[in-house]
Structure formats: C-alpha cells, structure tokens
C-alpha cells in the first residue's frame, strides 16, 4: 500500500514538472481591459524555472491619445492542479503610469491542461478588485531574453540574501548553487582537495558529481578530503559541494583542483542557503 502511494506521488510530481516545462519560454497575447475595446492591452510574458518555482517578467503595453503606457512586473508561482498562478512580486517599472497604478494587478492564471498548450495557452488576468480579463497567449520563443534573465537572477539573489540574513536553514536540494569557477580539462586524472580554513568541528561536506554522490558527510576537521576523478564525461560536468553542518550557517573552505602540472586554488563558502558548484568541461580526446 505504501509503495502504491509513493508511486502515486511520484506520478503527480512528474506530471507537475512536465506541465511547468511546457509553460517556460516567451508568450504574447492581448486583452481588452475590463471588456472595453478602446483599451487594448498587449501582454508579453517571459518565464523561466529557478529554485523550485517559475519566475517571470510580464510586460504590458497599451496606446491611448498618442501615448504608450504600461507596466513591467516580476511574478512567481508554482503549478497546482494543472494551473500556474503567477503572483505579482514587484512592479519593476511603469511607462506613463505610476507604480501605484501598476500595483492594481494581482495575479495571472495560466491553464496547462489543454492539448495545444505547447503553442497556445489560456490566461486569466486578475485585478485588485477581483475583476478578471481572459485572453489567449501564443508561444513566440522557447528562451527568454537576456534582460529578463538578468532581472530574474537578481530577484533570486536578493531572495537568498534575505534568507541568509534571517539565518534560515534550507535543505540541500533547495539551496542556490553558487558558481565558483569553470575549468577546461583533458582526459587525465583530476584531483580535488578540500581543506577547512577555520579548523571548525562543524566543517562537514558532501560532494556530488553530475548529481551522484562521490563523498558523503566528510568531516574536514579530522583531515582534508581528497577525491581522485579517474575519468569524467566528455563535455560539461558539475561538481556540487554541499555543507552538512547544522550548527554553522556558512563554512570557510579551501578548495584545490589539480590536473597534471596545473593547480588552481579557490575559497568556497557552502552553507545553509548556498551550495558551491564547479563546472569542468572535459575536452574530446
């Protein structure tokens, strides 16, 4: 019985993940504000998935009396019951409108269970007084713009900074992966070395290569950790260093990577909020 329940929740999770993937990209549509044909609003929606939720930039533009007006919003949400609800997180800017006026928008619902969701999507725009405007959006791009991605990344960074200030503990899978470096390697052996910079008893880490554990809960206070990678996949590889400490919010570690005569050294600080991630691009033999 428990196994059946487990598989049921697995299927629910996979279904929600697939629906979320469908929603990613750039969508464009328009609606008449509160049904008035004189007030047409064009909507552009750019969505990407980051840290367990879908985050996006909504750009709205209208035209009235020779003036272009509209608002840019940062929105975020998750998929539930085949619906993605994107709540307003902030007003990024107003064009010929004040941010106060722009704040009258509350959230946008996207329906993800239609057969043609990969190309078109049903949307409902909800105002502050719960009045709604329905419209259909069409997918125009699979990748969002560099500008939208920068704004979303800045939001995620600010969010995790606030977590750090509040000393919040996140599970390793929920943490932000902070890039340390990106290196190019050949097919010879790679040596990874991890040292406790502060000699703290709390300095304990796990290390993952492409999602697979290669060292678990190693206590660096006792001795440094050395990992030999005899062979890694051709192309880009990810090494994620996760803090296993529950008593120290941020670890201070020295990380050394050696291959042949090449040695590089870095300071890394995995903790309650962030993992450290190293990219190694192995060249084709």
pLDDT digits (tens, 9 = 90+) for 220-271: 988 899 999 988 889 999 999 999 998 889 999 999 999 999 999 999 999 9
Provide the percentage of residues in the chain whose pLDDT is more than 70.
89
E-state strands within the chain: 25-32, 40-50, 53-64, 67-77, 79-80, 83-95, 105-111, 120-127, 132-141, 176-185, 190-196, 204-209, 212-219, 225-229, 235-243, 253-259, 262-268, 274-282
d(CA 101, CA 107): 15
Q: Which two tokens stand for residue 102?
A: 């722009």
Residues 196 and 268 in one domain: yes
Taking a C-beta distance cutoff of 8 angstroms, is the pair 226, 193 a contact? yes
Beta partners for 43? Answer: 29, 60
40 and 137 assigned to the same domain: yes
Q: Quick: pLDDT tens for 17-75.
A: 445 567 889 999 999 998 887 889 999 999 998 766 899 999 999 998 899 999 999 99
Contact 237, 214 (CB under 8 A): no
Please indicate, yes or no, whether residues 108 and 215 belong to a single structural domain of this protein: no
Tell me, yes or no, whether 183 and 256 share the same domain: yes
**161 in a structural domain:** no
pLDDT at 117: 55
Average pLDDT over all residues of the chain:
87
Instruction: Examine the domain organization and report whether 140 and 268 are in the same domain.
Output: no
Residues 113, 47 share a domain: yes
* Residue 47 domain flag: yes
- Distance CA(44)–CA(137), nearest Å, equals 9
Domain assignment of residue 156, yes or no:
no
Q: Same domain for 241 and 111?
A: no
CATH number at 35 reads 2.40.128
DSSP per-residue letters across 251-271: --EEEEEEETTEEEEEEE--B
Residue 54 domain-assigned (yes or no): yes
Between CA 152 and CA 232 the distance in angstroms is 32
Per-residue burial over 20-56, b if 16 or more Cβ lie within 10 Å, else e, is bebbbbbbebbbebeeeeeeebebbbbbbebeeebbb
Regarding whether 239 and 197 lie in a shared domain, the answer is yes
Q: pLDDT tens digits, residue range 180-195?
A: 999 999 989 999 999 9
Q: Note whether 202 and 270 are same-domain residues.
A: yes
| Cα–Cα distance for residue pair 20/63, rounded to 1 Å | 32
Domain that holds residue 57: 2-148
Domain of 195, CATH number, reads: 2.60.40
Is residue 10 packed enough to be buried (19+ CB in 10 Å), middle (13-18) or exposed (0-12)?
A: exposed
241 and 116, same domain (yes or no)? no
pLDDT, residue 129, reads 93
Q: In terms of domains, do 58 and 138 share one?
A: yes
Say what the pTM is: 0.64
- For residue 114, name the pLDDT band (cuts at 50, 70, 90): low
pLDDT computed for residue 22 by the predictor = 73
- Find all residues with CB under 8 Å of 16, minimum gap 6, and list them: 79, 80
Whether residues 200 and 96 share a domain: the answer is no
């Amino acid at each position: 019985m428990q196994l059946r329940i487990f598989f049921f929740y697995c299927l629910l999770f996979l279904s929600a993940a697939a629906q979320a993937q469908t929603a990613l990209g750039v969508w464009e549509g328009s609606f008449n504000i509160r049904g008035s044909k004189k007030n047409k609003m064009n909507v552009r929606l750019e969505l990407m998935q980051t840290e367990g939720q879908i985050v996006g930039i909504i750009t709205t533009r209208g035209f009235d009396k020779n003036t272009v007006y509209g608002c840019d919003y940062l929105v975020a949400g998750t998929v539930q019951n085949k619906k993605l609800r994107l709540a307003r997180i902030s007003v990024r800017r107003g064009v010929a409108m004040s941010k106060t006026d722009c704040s009258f928008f509350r959230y946008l619902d996207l329906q993800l269970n239609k057969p043609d969701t990969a190309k078109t999507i049903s949307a409902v725009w909800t105002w502050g007084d719960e009045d709604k405007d329905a419209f259909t959006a069409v997918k125009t791009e699979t990748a969002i713009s560099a500008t939208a991605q920068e704004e979303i990344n800045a939001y995620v960074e600010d969010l995790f900074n606030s977590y750090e200030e509040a000393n919040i503990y996140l599970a390793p899978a929920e943490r932000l992966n902070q890039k340390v470096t990106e290196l190019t390697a050949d097919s010879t052996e790679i040596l990874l070395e991890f040292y406790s910079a502060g000699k703290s008893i709390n300095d304990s880490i796990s290390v993952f290569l492409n999602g697979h554990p290669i060292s678990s809960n190693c206590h660096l206070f006792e001795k440094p950790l050395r990992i030999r990678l005899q062979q890694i996949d051709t192309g880009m590889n990810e090494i994620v260093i996760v803090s296993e400490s529950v008593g120290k919010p941020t670890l201070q570690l020295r990380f050394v990577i050696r291959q042949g005569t090449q040695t590089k050294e870095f300071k890394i600080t995995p903790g309650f909020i962030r993992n450290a991630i190293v990219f190694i691009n192995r060249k084709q033999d």
